[in-house]
């Protein structure tokens, strides 16, 4: 999986990079076991030194054969924004993959759907 991490109007410290890796990337990697999958993460300080609730975590996940999933979360600090993004991404990816499974089995009952081969 390819991970693109960038900071807009802020510097990415090693602690912030490791937090993103541990709390966001590792949770999302389980949905994408393909090398062509990509996570694009932008950490943004909208107002700069003015302060306020202006820290954003923008994440786009691209999985081969599926539509892209984009999430933006805003908080007063980057850490809660990263955690909220992770939670929303997990929910969205689970829903997207469940829809793909439903389409694959064509709405067949569970006992019949179990016999349908996966490709």
Q: Give the pLDDT confidence of 80-104 residue by residue, as tens digits.
A: 999 999 999 999 998 888 877 665 5
Q: What pLDDT does residue 115 have?
A: 55
CATH 3.20.20.120, domain 2-104, yes or no: no
Q: Give the pLDDT confidence of 10-38 residue by residue, as tens digits.
A: 899 999 999 999 999 999 888 877 778 89
Where does the pLDDT of residue 54 fall: very low under 50, low under 70, confident under 90, or very high at 90 and above?
confident
3-state secondary structure (DSSP) of residue 47: coil
Q: Please report the sign of the dihedral spanned by the C-alpha atoms of residue 79, residue 81, residue 84, residue 86.
A: negative
- Residues 6 or more apart whose CB falls under 8 angstroms from that of 5 comprise 12, 17, 20, 41, 43
């Amino acid at each position: 999986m390819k991970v693109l991490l960038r900071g807009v109007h802020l510097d990415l410290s090693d602690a912030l990079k490791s937090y993103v890796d541990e709390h966001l990337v590792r949770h999302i990697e389980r949905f994408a076991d393909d090398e062509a999958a990509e996570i694009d993460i932008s950490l943004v300080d909208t107002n700069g030194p003015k302060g306020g609730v202006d820290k954003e975590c923008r994440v786009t996940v691209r999985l081969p054969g599926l539509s892209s999933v984009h999430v933006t979360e805003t908080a007063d600090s980057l850490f809660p924004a990263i955690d909220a993004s992770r939670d929303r991404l997990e929910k969205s990816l689970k829903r997207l993959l469940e829809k793909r499974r439903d389409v694959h089995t064509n709405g067949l009952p569970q006992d019949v759907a179990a016999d349908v081969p996966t490709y």
